[in-house]
Each structure stands twice: as C-alpha cells, then as structure tokens.
C-alpha cells in the first residue's frame, strides 16, 4: 500500500506517525513546500520576540523521516492531482503514485489587494521564514510597525514586535479585537488590556494604499483618508486553505476540502486533515474549518486510521481558543456569537473591578458556547460539557455564578 501525504505540518506528521505504527512495511511519502522538518507553527511569534530560537520550536528529530522509513520531498510544490491515474504532479516535473492520499496542506495568509502591497518590509507571519524576515527588518532599523488584523496572529505579531522595542499600532476593521472568537464585552476588555500595555489599537480602520520610499514601505493611506507613517507591516487578515492544486481534480471544495464523518472527500481514497479540511463541527452541526493545533493533531490521526482501513468516525471538531494577553486570560469555545435566528439562551456575568467576565450560550438546555475572561482555570470542564452535549438544567445558574465547575458538575454524579 502506498500512502502519500501532502504537507508536513502537525496534521500530516500525526498521520504519518499513526500509519507507521499500524503498518511497519507500507510505503509512506511526504511532500512539503517548506524545506524544514516539522516545527510548532503556534510558537513562531516567539522567534519574532527573541524569546525562542529555531531549535526551540522544532518538534521532531533531524532523522525523523529516516527512522520512520518515510520518503520525503521537502521544498516541493504540488501542481496537480490526477484521480484517475492516482498520481500527484510536482512543480519540479516529478510525479508520485498513491493508493491513499491525505491532503494536509494547511492554509496560506490572505494578502491585501491594495496598491503598494509588493513594497519591501510588508510581511505575513505564517512560517519560520516569515518570522526571520520580520526579525531582520527589526535588526535593520525598523522603528514603527503596523499590524493589520485583530486576530490571534495579529496579537502574536504585535507582542513579538513590542518585545523588541518597536512602536506598534494594530489596525482592525471590526469594532473590537478577536471578533471571530470573542463577543463585544470580552473584545472590549481585550482592547483595553492591549492599550494599557503600550499597543495602539485602531478599530474600524483599514489600509487603502501603501506608500513607499525607494521600494520600502513608509506608510499608508487609510479608509478615513488619514495617513499614517510606519516602516514595517505585518498583514494578519486571516488565512485561506491551500486547495488550488485540486481545482480541476474532481475533489469537492467549498472553503477547504469537504470531508465526511471519516475525513474522506467525495473521491474514494482521498482524505483531508488540519487547516485545509472542512470537517463536521460538533456544535454548529455543519462542516466548518477549525484551524487550531489540537484539531489538526486529532484529524491527522483519525484520517490515518481510516486510510489504513480501521474505520473510525470523527466526532467533530470544537473550535476553542485560550490566550494570555498580558495580564488578561481569555478562553472561548463553541458558538460565542449565536445567530439571532436560532433559539439560543445567553447568560452572562461581568465584574468591572476584577475584569472577570463569563458568558454561557445554551441551546435546547445544552451548553454550546462560552467566553471567559480572567476565570479560565477550569474552563476545560465547560468545553467538556459542550463536546458531550449533555443537558445541564438548573446547573447553568451555578456554572454562571461559580468558577469551581468541577464541584458543580460532581453533584450530579
């Protein structure tokens, strides 16, 4: 059996390791655009800050592929997949055959379609190369940075730059940071915390045009017609799954590769995992992309089980985020901002003095979403309640008022 994995991020790596544990003799091939062994992508912002170096974020040994008897093609891009001949064609002109194929290509940053986007010192932050490019810009004299986007990547980039002594401003189009995973109350708490620690946060602002001097960015015209000066930019406007090479393959694509409960696409023998997989979501009851590390690990393993014939149903992903923003701890999970059309119940509590905030979202007497600020210590209990879909009845009021969720839940056992 020939297994081909496109992508050597954590989803592809988890899949390769799982296949090898089950089958010691099969052929496993990994193809990756990047030229490095697996590393922790969530930690690359610490390369920017200088708190970690390259070796600190590598997660597998240099002989990883050799030990697992994996044929590896690093620094190679896939151009086309032929499902009839079961072949993958590389940009180098090479082609590879497969019996089972895993698409674990992840996602690429969204670039801005505005004038001046090709000027020097405009970066994204997605891989090791991006991080070191930003570091080189700082070491070459950059003094003032603009981070475009208020998501987690934007926060991490801003933090890293601030640690290097750079003057940082964050420009976001939404009314508060982390609008995809926070609600208005927690988002405003986050904004306040960022500003209290030296970051300028401009909401409702976007770039219409970058200006340059001798080929290097020197500022931008904003949507309110104002002009701001800076000499370094990090664009953090979200990501898009890497699916271009599949466009004419017959594989069903929506945002990402659409897969079923076994992480298999509409084409038999082709699976997907990680940030490229549009897979079942346990609370939205539809296919969604949850681009977080634990989900990629789990999907890689379950895809591998199914690829080798161990039929294993994927329970669905649960979107969740945990982040420390200076002295503010924030956690969210599930449906944080429910649609007005659904029959959702929302309970919330906010203590302005302690900046402690809690929001519970329920549907059909089941917890389906949470947002927590400065009360995250036992937040995993609430995530567990969401994932199990258990009816909680009047316990919801105790869960709202108390932070020791273990004791609340234990009373029902």
Predicted confidence (pLDDT) per residue in 157-185, tens digit? 999 999 999 999 999 999 999 999 999 99
- Res. 273: pLDDT tops 60: yes
pLDDT in tens, 99-149: 999 999 999 999 999 999 999 999 999 999 999 999 999 999 999 999 999
The per-residue pLDDT for 205 is 95
The per-residue pLDDT for 86 is 97
Asked if 244 and 159 sit in the same domain, the reply is: no
> In terms of Cα–Cα distance, which of 56, 64, 58, 61 is closest to 16?
64
193: in domain: yes
Asked if 337 and 288 sit in the same domain, the reply is: no
Asked if 231 and 247 sit in the same domain, the reply is: no
314: in domain: no
pLDDT in tens, 179-222: 999 999 999 999 999 999 999 999 999 999 999 999 999 999 99
CB 289 within 8 A of CB 27: no
Confidence of residue 322 (pLDDT cuts 50, 70, 90): very high
Residue the block writes with tokens 């050799």: 66
First to last CA, the chain: 47
Asked if 154 and 207 sit in the same domain, the reply is: yes
pLDDT in tens, 19-62: 999 999 999 999 999 999 999 999 999 999 999 999 999 999 99
The per-residue pLDDT for 303 is 98
164: in domain: yes
pLDDT in tens, 278-295: 999 999 999 999 999 999
Confidence of residue 327 (pLDDT cuts 50, 70, 90): very high
Q: How far apart are CA 83 and CA 252, in angstroms?
A: 12
Asked if 291 and 331 sit in the same domain, the reply is: no
- Res. 94: pLDDT tops 90: yes
Q: How many domains does the chain have?
A: 3
The per-residue pLDDT for 407 is 86
216: in domain: yes
CB 297 within 8 A of CB 13: no
Share of the chain above pLDDT 70, in %: 99
Asked if 156 and 137 sit in the same domain, the reply is: yes
**Domain CATH code at residue 72:** 3.50.50.60
213 burial type by CB count under 10 A (0-12 exposed, 13-18 middle, 19+ buried): exposed
Q: How far apart are CA 24 and CA 68, in angstroms?
A: 9
**Domain CATH code at residue 375:** 3.30.390.30
Domain extent for 348 = 327-410
Question: In three state form, how does the secondary structure of the chain look?
Answer: CEEEEECCCHHHHHHHHHHHHHCCCCEEEEEECCCCCCECHHHCHHHHHCCCCHHHHECCCCCHHHHCCEEEEECCCEEEEECCCCEEEECCCCEEECCEEEECCCEEECCCCCECCCCECEECCCCHHHHHHHHHHHHCCCCEEEEECCCHHHHHHHHHHHHCCCEEEEEECCCCCCCCCCCHHHHHHHHHHHHHCCCEEEECCCEEEEEEECCEEEEEEECCCCEEECCEEEECCCEEECCHHHCCCCCCECCCEECCCCCECCCCCEEECHHHEEEEECCCCEEECCCCHHHHHHHHHHHHHHHCCCCCCCCCECCEEEEEECCEEEEEEECCCCCCCCCCEEEEEEECCCCEEEEEEEECCEEEEEEEECCCCCHHHHHHHHHHCCECCCHHHHHHHCCCHHHHHHCCC
> In terms of Cα–Cα distance, which of 156, 150, 201, 185 is closest to 326?
156
The per-residue pLDDT for 410 is 78
The per-residue pLDDT for 342 is 79
The per-residue pLDDT for 87 is 98
Please give the average per-residue pLDDT across 253-275, as a whole number.
98
394: in domain: yes
- Res. 413: pLDDT tops 80: no
pTM recorded for the entire structure: 0.95
Q: How far apart are CA 385 and CA 193, in angstroms?
A: 29
Share of the chain above pLDDT 90, in %: 96
Asked if 296 and 360 sit in the same domain, the reply is: no
Q: How far are the Cα atoms of 17, 29, 97, 103, 110 from residue 1, in angstroms, in the given order?
A: 16, 11, 11, 17, 37
114: in domain: no
Arithmetic mean of pLDDT over the chain: 96
The per-residue pLDDT for 199 is 92
Tokens linked to 243 = 């699916």
Q: How far apart are CA 130 and CA 336, in angstroms?
A: 31
The per-residue pLDDT for 411 is 66
Asked if 132 and 229 sit in the same domain, the reply is: yes
- Res. 408: pLDDT tops 80: yes
Asked if 160 and 229 sit in the same domain, the reply is: yes
322: in domain: no
- Res. 350: pLDDT tops 80: yes
Asked if 129 and 270 sit in the same domain, the reply is: no
The per-residue pLDDT for 412 is 56
317: in domain: no
The per-residue pLDDT for 377 is 94
Asked if 103 and 132 sit in the same domain, the reply is: no
CB 137 within 8 A of CB 47: no
Asked if 131 and 230 sit in the same domain, the reply is: yes
């Amino acid at each position: 059996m020939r297994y081909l994995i496109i992508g050597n991020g954590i989803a592809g790596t988890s899949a390769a390791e799982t296949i090898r544990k089950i089958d010691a003799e099969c052929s496993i091939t990994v193809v990756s655009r990047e030229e490095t062994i697996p590393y922790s992508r969530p930690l690359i912002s610490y390369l920017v800050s200088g708190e970690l170096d390259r070796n600190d974020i590598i997660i597998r040994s240099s002989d990883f592929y050799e030990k697992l008897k994996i044929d590896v093609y690093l620094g190679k891009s896939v151009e086309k997949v032929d499902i009839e001949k079961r072949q993958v064609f590389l940009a180098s002109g090479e082609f590879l055959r497969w019996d089972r194929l895993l698409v674990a290509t992840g996602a690429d940053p969204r670039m801005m379609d505005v004038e001046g986007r090709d000027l020097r010192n405009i970066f994204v932050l997605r891989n090791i190369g991006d991080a070191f490019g930003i570091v080189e810009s700082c070491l070459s004299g950059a003094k003032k940075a603009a981070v475009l986007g208020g998501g987690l990547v934007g926060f991490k980039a801003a933090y890293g730059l601030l640690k290097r002594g750079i003057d940082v401003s964050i420009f976001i189009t939404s009314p508060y940071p982390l609008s995809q995973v926070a609600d208005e109350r927690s988002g405003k708490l986050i904004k306040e915390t960022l500003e209290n620690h030296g970051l300028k946060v401009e909401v409702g602002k976007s770039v219409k045009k970058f200006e340059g001097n001798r080929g290097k960015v020197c500022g931008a015209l904003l949507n309110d017609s104002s002009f701001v000066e800076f000499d370094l930019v990090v664009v953090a406007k979200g990501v898009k799954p890497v699916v271009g090479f599949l466009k004419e393959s017959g594989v069903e694509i929506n945002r990402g590769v659409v897969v079923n409960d076994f992480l298999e696409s509409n084409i038999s023998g082709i699976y997907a995992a990680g940030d490229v997989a549009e897979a079942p979501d346990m609370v939205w009851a539809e296919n969604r992309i949850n681009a977080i590390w634990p989900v990629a690990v789990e999907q890689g393993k379950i895809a591998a089980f199914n690829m080798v014939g161990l039929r294993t149903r994927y329970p669905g992903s649960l979107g969740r985020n945990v982040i420390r923003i200076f002295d503010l701890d924030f956690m969210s999970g599930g449906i944080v901002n429910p649609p007005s059309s659904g029959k959702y119940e929302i309970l919330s509590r906010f203590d302005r003095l302690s900046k402690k905030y809690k929001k519970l979202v329920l549907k059909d007497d089941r917890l389906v979403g949470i947002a927590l600020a400065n009360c995250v210590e036992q937040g995993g209990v609430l995530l567990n309640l969401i994932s199990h879909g258990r009816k909680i009845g009047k316990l919801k009021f105790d869960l709202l008022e108390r932070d020791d969720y273990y004791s609340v839940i234990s009373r029902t056992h």
